[in-house]
Homo-oligomer: A and B are copies of this chain.
Protein backbone atom coordinates (compact mmCIF):
# COMPACT_ATOMS: atom_id res chain seq x y z
CA UNK A 1 0.00 0.00 0.00
CA UNK A 2 2.26 2.73 -1.24
CA UNK A 3 1.38 6.24 -0.16
CA UNK A 4 2.38 7.65 -3.55
CA UNK A 5 -0.74 8.64 -5.50
CA UNK A 6 -0.28 10.35 -8.87
CA UNK A 7 -2.47 13.39 -9.52
CA UNK A 8 -4.02 11.97 -12.70
CA UNK A 9 -3.95 8.87 -14.92
CA UNK A 10 -2.04 10.03 -18.00
CA UNK A 11 0.40 12.04 -15.93
CA UNK A 12 1.31 9.02 -13.85
CA UNK A 13 1.66 7.04 -17.06
CA UNK A 14 3.99 9.69 -18.49
CA UNK A 15 5.97 9.74 -15.26
CA UNK A 16 6.40 5.99 -15.49
CA UNK A 17 7.65 6.16 -19.05
CA UNK A 18 10.06 9.06 -18.54
CA UNK A 19 11.40 8.53 -15.04
CA UNK A 20 11.33 4.75 -14.72
CA UNK A 21 12.72 1.88 -16.72
CA UNK A 22 10.74 -1.11 -15.48
CA UNK A 23 7.96 -1.11 -18.07
CA UNK A 24 8.56 -1.92 -21.77
CA UNK A 25 7.54 1.64 -22.73
CA UNK A 26 9.94 3.08 -20.16
CA UNK A 27 12.76 0.92 -21.44
CA UNK A 28 12.08 1.89 -25.05
CA UNK A 29 12.01 5.57 -24.11
CA UNK A 30 15.38 5.26 -22.39
CA UNK A 31 16.95 3.48 -25.35
CA UNK A 32 15.61 6.05 -27.84
CA UNK A 33 16.82 8.89 -25.61
CA UNK A 34 20.24 7.25 -25.25
CA UNK A 35 20.78 7.03 -29.01
CA UNK A 36 19.43 10.56 -29.58
CA UNK A 37 21.91 11.93 -27.05
CA UNK A 38 24.80 10.06 -28.66
CA UNK A 39 23.65 11.21 -32.11
CA UNK A 40 23.32 14.82 -30.98
CA UNK A 41 26.81 14.81 -29.46
CA UNK A 42 28.21 13.41 -32.72
CA UNK A 43 26.35 16.20 -34.57
CA UNK A 44 27.94 18.83 -32.33
CA UNK A 45 31.35 17.31 -33.02
CA UNK A 46 30.82 17.22 -36.79
CA UNK A 47 29.59 20.83 -36.79
CA UNK A 48 32.80 21.92 -35.09
CA UNK A 49 34.87 20.54 -37.99
CA UNK A 50 34.92 23.44 -40.45
CA UNK A 51 34.99 21.48 -43.70
CA UNK A 52 32.19 19.13 -42.64
CA UNK A 53 30.10 22.08 -41.49
CA UNK A 54 30.60 23.93 -44.80
CA UNK A 55 29.61 20.96 -46.94
CA UNK A 56 26.70 19.59 -44.93
CA UNK A 57 25.49 22.62 -43.00
CA UNK A 58 21.87 22.18 -44.06
CA UNK A 59 21.66 18.50 -43.10
CA UNK A 60 23.34 19.06 -39.75
CA UNK A 61 21.05 21.97 -38.90
CA UNK A 62 17.91 20.02 -39.79
CA UNK A 63 18.94 17.05 -37.65
CA UNK A 64 19.90 19.40 -34.85
CA UNK A 65 16.47 21.04 -34.97
CA UNK A 66 14.74 17.63 -34.80
CA UNK A 67 16.74 16.67 -31.75
CA UNK A 68 16.27 20.06 -30.08
CA UNK A 69 12.51 19.86 -30.57
CA UNK A 70 12.44 16.33 -29.17
CA UNK A 71 14.49 17.45 -26.17
CA UNK A 72 12.20 20.49 -25.69
CA UNK A 73 9.11 18.27 -25.67
CA UNK A 74 10.82 15.85 -23.32
CA UNK A 75 11.74 18.72 -20.98
CA UNK A 76 8.15 19.94 -20.91
CA UNK A 77 6.87 16.40 -20.35
CA UNK A 78 9.26 16.03 -17.45
CA UNK A 79 7.94 19.27 -15.95
CA UNK A 80 4.31 18.23 -16.33
CA UNK A 81 4.57 14.65 -15.10
CA UNK A 82 6.47 15.38 -11.91
CA UNK A 83 4.78 16.55 -8.72
CA UNK A 84 7.38 19.11 -7.71
CA UNK A 85 8.53 20.72 -10.97
CA UNK A 86 10.70 23.39 -9.31
CA UNK A 87 12.71 20.82 -7.46
CA UNK A 88 13.45 19.14 -10.78
CA UNK A 89 14.33 22.44 -12.50
CA UNK A 90 17.04 23.23 -9.98
CA UNK A 91 18.31 19.67 -9.61
CA UNK A 92 21.62 18.66 -11.26
CA UNK A 93 19.95 16.80 -14.11
CA UNK A 94 17.28 19.48 -14.45
CA UNK A 95 19.95 22.08 -15.16
CA UNK A 96 21.80 19.76 -17.55
CA UNK A 97 18.53 19.07 -19.40
CA UNK A 98 17.83 22.79 -19.67
CA UNK A 99 21.36 23.68 -20.82
CA UNK A 100 21.34 20.98 -23.47
CA UNK A 101 18.03 22.21 -24.90
CA UNK A 102 18.44 26.00 -24.92
CA UNK A 103 21.59 26.78 -26.98
CA UNK A 104 20.02 26.43 -30.44
CA UNK A 105 17.17 28.81 -29.53
CA UNK A 106 19.63 31.25 -28.00
CA UNK A 107 21.80 31.29 -31.13
CA UNK A 108 18.90 32.95 -32.96
CA UNK A 109 18.08 35.44 -30.23
CA UNK A 110 21.46 36.56 -28.92
CA UNK A 111 24.22 37.69 -31.23
CA UNK A 112 27.56 36.01 -30.55
CA UNK A 113 26.02 33.17 -28.63
CA UNK A 114 26.91 30.84 -31.49
CA UNK A 115 30.01 29.92 -29.56
CA UNK A 116 27.74 28.49 -26.89
CA UNK A 117 26.51 25.83 -29.32
CA UNK A 118 29.39 23.64 -28.17
CA UNK A 119 27.76 23.58 -24.75
CA UNK A 120 25.38 21.06 -26.26
CA UNK A 121 28.16 18.48 -25.96
CA UNK A 122 27.44 18.42 -22.25
CA UNK A 123 24.28 16.56 -23.20
CA UNK A 124 26.54 13.59 -22.80
CA UNK A 125 26.14 13.98 -19.04
CA UNK A 126 22.50 13.04 -19.50
CA UNK A 127 23.68 9.56 -20.42
CA UNK A 128 24.61 8.93 -16.81
CA UNK A 129 21.00 9.27 -15.71
CA UNK A 130 19.84 6.69 -18.22
CA UNK A 131 22.57 4.29 -17.20
CA UNK A 132 21.57 4.75 -13.58
CA UNK A 133 17.99 3.86 -14.42
CA UNK A 134 18.73 0.68 -16.32
CA UNK A 135 21.27 -0.34 -13.66
CA UNK A 136 23.87 -0.95 -16.28
CA UNK A 137 26.68 0.13 -14.05
CA UNK A 138 26.08 -2.03 -11.00
CA UNK A 139 29.80 -2.85 -11.23
CA UNK A 140 30.65 0.82 -10.96
CA UNK A 141 29.42 0.98 -7.36
CA UNK A 142 32.41 -1.04 -6.16
CA UNK A 143 34.72 1.34 -8.02
CA UNK A 144 32.91 4.27 -6.47
CA UNK A 145 33.06 3.00 -2.90
CA UNK A 146 36.78 2.23 -3.22
CA UNK A 147 37.40 5.75 -4.52
CA UNK A 148 35.18 7.28 -1.85
CA UNK A 149 37.03 5.44 0.91
CA UNK A 150 40.38 6.76 -0.28
CA UNK A 151 39.04 10.27 -0.98
CA UNK A 152 40.73 12.00 1.94
CA UNK A 153 44.09 10.37 1.24
CA UNK A 154 43.89 11.36 -2.42
CA UNK A 155 42.99 14.95 -1.43
CA UNK A 156 46.05 15.13 0.84
CA UNK A 157 48.13 13.69 -1.98
CA UNK A 158 46.91 16.23 -4.57
CA UNK A 159 47.45 18.99 -2.02
CA UNK A 160 51.09 17.97 -1.49
CA UNK A 161 51.59 17.66 -5.27
CA UNK A 162 50.26 21.20 -5.76
CA UNK A 163 52.53 22.73 -3.11
CA UNK A 164 55.48 20.79 -4.56
CA UNK A 165 54.60 22.14 -8.00
CA UNK A 166 54.53 25.76 -6.79
CA UNK A 167 57.89 25.40 -5.00
CA UNK A 168 59.60 23.54 -7.84
CA UNK A 169 57.99 25.79 -10.47
CA UNK A 170 59.36 28.90 -8.73
CA UNK A 171 62.78 27.27 -8.53
CA UNK A 172 62.72 26.56 -12.27
CA UNK A 173 61.61 30.15 -12.95
CA UNK A 174 64.67 31.37 -11.05
CA UNK A 175 67.03 28.95 -12.79
CA UNK A 176 65.77 29.15 -16.38
CA UNK A 177 65.58 32.41 -18.28
CA UNK A 178 62.78 33.75 -20.44
CA UNK A 179 64.17 32.31 -23.66
CA UNK A 180 63.43 28.72 -22.58
CA UNK A 181 59.74 29.52 -22.14
CA UNK A 182 59.71 30.01 -18.36
CA UNK A 183 58.37 33.56 -18.72
CA UNK A 184 56.38 33.71 -15.47
CA UNK A 185 55.86 31.70 -12.29
CA UNK A 186 52.38 30.41 -13.25
CA UNK A 187 53.77 29.26 -16.61
CA UNK A 188 56.66 27.66 -14.77
CA UNK A 189 54.24 25.85 -12.46
CA UNK A 190 52.30 24.69 -15.51
CA UNK A 191 55.53 23.21 -16.87
CA UNK A 192 56.29 21.57 -13.50
CA UNK A 193 52.92 19.82 -13.44
CA UNK A 194 53.38 18.78 -17.08
CA UNK A 195 56.67 17.18 -16.04
CA UNK A 196 55.64 15.80 -12.65
CA UNK A 197 52.68 13.96 -14.14
CA UNK A 198 55.00 12.58 -16.87
CA UNK A 199 52.87 14.16 -19.60
CA UNK A 200 55.80 16.12 -21.08
CA UNK A 201 54.52 18.20 -24.00
CA UNK A 202 57.88 19.71 -24.84
CA UNK A 203 56.41 23.14 -25.69
CA UNK A 204 58.49 24.43 -22.78
CA UNK A 205 61.76 22.61 -22.02
CA UNK A 206 64.74 23.58 -19.87
CA UNK A 207 67.84 24.73 -21.76
CA UNK A 208 70.48 25.34 -19.09
CA UNK A 209 72.39 22.40 -17.54
CA UNK A 210 71.17 23.32 -14.06
CA UNK A 211 67.59 23.55 -15.33
CA UNK A 212 67.90 20.16 -16.98
CA UNK A 213 69.33 18.70 -13.79
CA UNK A 214 66.40 20.08 -11.78
CA UNK A 215 64.00 18.78 -14.44
CA UNK A 216 65.57 15.35 -14.01
CA UNK A 217 64.94 15.49 -10.28
CA UNK A 218 61.31 16.52 -10.88
CA UNK A 219 60.80 13.66 -13.34
CA UNK A 220 62.15 11.00 -10.99
CA UNK A 221 60.05 12.54 -8.23
CA UNK A 222 56.97 12.36 -10.44
CA UNK A 223 57.85 8.83 -11.46
CA UNK A 224 58.00 7.82 -7.80
CA UNK A 225 55.03 9.91 -6.65
CA UNK A 226 52.67 8.17 -9.07
CA UNK A 227 53.07 5.14 -6.83
CA UNK A 228 51.16 6.89 -4.05
CA UNK A 229 47.64 7.23 -5.55
CA UNK A 230 48.06 3.80 -7.09
CA UNK A 231 49.01 2.37 -3.72
CA UNK A 232 46.06 4.04 -2.01
CA UNK A 233 43.45 2.87 -4.50
CA UNK A 234 44.92 -0.63 -4.83
CA UNK A 235 44.99 -1.16 -1.06
CA UNK A 236 41.35 -0.05 -0.96
CA UNK A 237 40.36 -2.40 -3.78
CA UNK A 238 42.10 -5.36 -2.17
CA UNK A 239 40.37 -4.63 1.11
CA UNK A 240 36.94 -4.32 -0.51
CA UNK A 241 37.43 -7.53 -2.44
CA UNK A 242 38.50 -9.44 0.64
CA UNK A 243 35.57 -8.22 2.68
CA UNK A 244 33.13 -9.60 0.15
CA UNK A 245 35.00 -12.80 -0.38
CA UNK A 246 35.78 -13.74 3.19
CA UNK A 247 32.45 -12.77 4.62
CA UNK A 248 30.48 -15.20 2.55
CA UNK A 249 32.20 -18.51 2.14
CA UNK A 250 35.75 -18.44 3.53
CA UNK A 251 36.78 -18.94 7.15
CA UNK A 252 40.08 -19.21 8.94
CA UNK A 253 40.94 -22.75 9.92
CA UNK A 254 43.65 -23.83 12.31
CA UNK A 255 46.14 -26.64 12.05
CA UNK A 256 44.67 -28.69 14.90
CA UNK A 257 44.16 -32.38 14.05
CA UNK A 258 41.21 -34.44 15.28
CA UNK A 259 42.34 -36.71 18.12
CA UNK A 260 40.11 -39.46 16.73
CA UNK A 261 40.50 -39.39 12.96
CA UNK A 262 43.46 -36.98 12.46
CA UNK A 263 41.47 -34.82 10.05
CA UNK A 264 43.01 -31.34 9.77
CA UNK A 265 41.70 -27.90 8.93
CA UNK A 266 39.04 -27.27 11.57
CA UNK A 267 37.41 -23.86 11.99
CA UNK A 268 39.08 -21.73 14.62
CA UNK A 269 36.00 -21.98 16.82
CA UNK A 270 35.29 -25.67 16.20
CA UNK A 271 34.70 -27.89 19.23
CA UNK A 272 33.92 -31.08 17.33
CA UNK A 273 35.68 -32.67 14.35
CA UNK A 274 33.86 -31.90 11.11
CA UNK A 275 34.78 -35.35 9.86
CA UNK A 276 33.97 -37.83 12.64
CA UNK A 277 32.23 -35.63 15.23
CA UNK A 278 34.70 -36.43 17.98
CA UNK A 279 35.36 -33.74 20.59
CA UNK A 280 38.42 -31.68 19.65
A residues sitting closer than 8 Å to B (CB atoms) are: 41, 44-45, 48-50, 115, 118-119, 121-122, 124-125, 127-128, 137, 139-140, 142-143, 146-147, 152-154, 156-158, 160-161, 163, 166-167, 170, 173-174, 183-190, 193-203, 205, 209, 212-213, 215-216, 219-220, 222-224, 226-242, 245, 248-256, 265-279
Known: A174-B115, A186-B45. A227 touches B232 (CB 8 A): yes
8 Å CB contact of A231 from B146, B157, B173, B278: B146
On whether the beta carbons of B236 and A229 are closer than 8 Å, the reply is: no
Least CB distance, A2 to chain B, in whole angstroms: 32
Number of copies: 4
**Could you tell me the distance between the alpha carbons of A160 and B106 in the complex, rounded to whole angstroms?**
30
**Could you tell me the distance between the alpha carbons of A249 and B251 in the complex, rounded to whole angstroms?**
9
On whether the beta carbons of B232 and A41 are closer than 8 Å, the reply is: no
On whether the beta carbons of A256 and B237 are closer than 8 Å, the reply is: no
On whether the beta carbons of B186 and A49 are closer than 8 Å, the reply is: yes
Q: Which residue on B lies nearest to A246, using beta carbons?
A: B250
Can you list 10 A-B pairs with a CB-CB distance of less than 8 A? A44-B185, A48-B185, A49-B184, A115-B174, A124-B166, A139-B153, A199-B200, A234-B235, A249-B252, A249-B268
Name the B residues within 8 Å of A238 (CB-CB): 234-235, 238-239
Name the B residues within 8 Å of A200 (CB-CB): 194, 198-202
Name the B residues within 8 Å of A147 (CB-CB): 228
Name the B residues within 8 Å of A158 (CB-CB): 220, 224
**Could you tell me the distance between the alpha carbons of A251 and B137 in the complex, rounded to whole angstroms?**
31
Known: A199-B195, A199-B200, A224-B158. A268 touches B265 (CB 8 A): no
8 Å CB contact of A220 from B193, B237, B272: B193
Name the B residues within 8 Å of A195 (CB-CB): 199
Name the B residues within 8 Å of A154 (CB-CB): 224
Known: A209-B186, A226-B223. A173 touches B118 (CB 8 A): yes
Name the B residues within 8 Å of A118 (CB-CB): 170, 173-174, 185
**Could you tell me the distance between the alpha carbons of A159 and B10 in the complex, rounded to whole angstroms?**
36
Q: Which residue on B lies nearest to A47, using beta carbons?
A: B185
**Could you tell me the distance between the alpha carbons of A133 and B34 in the complex, rounded to whole angstroms?**
45
Known: A238-B234, A255-B249, A274-B274. A156 touches B143 (CB 8 A): yes
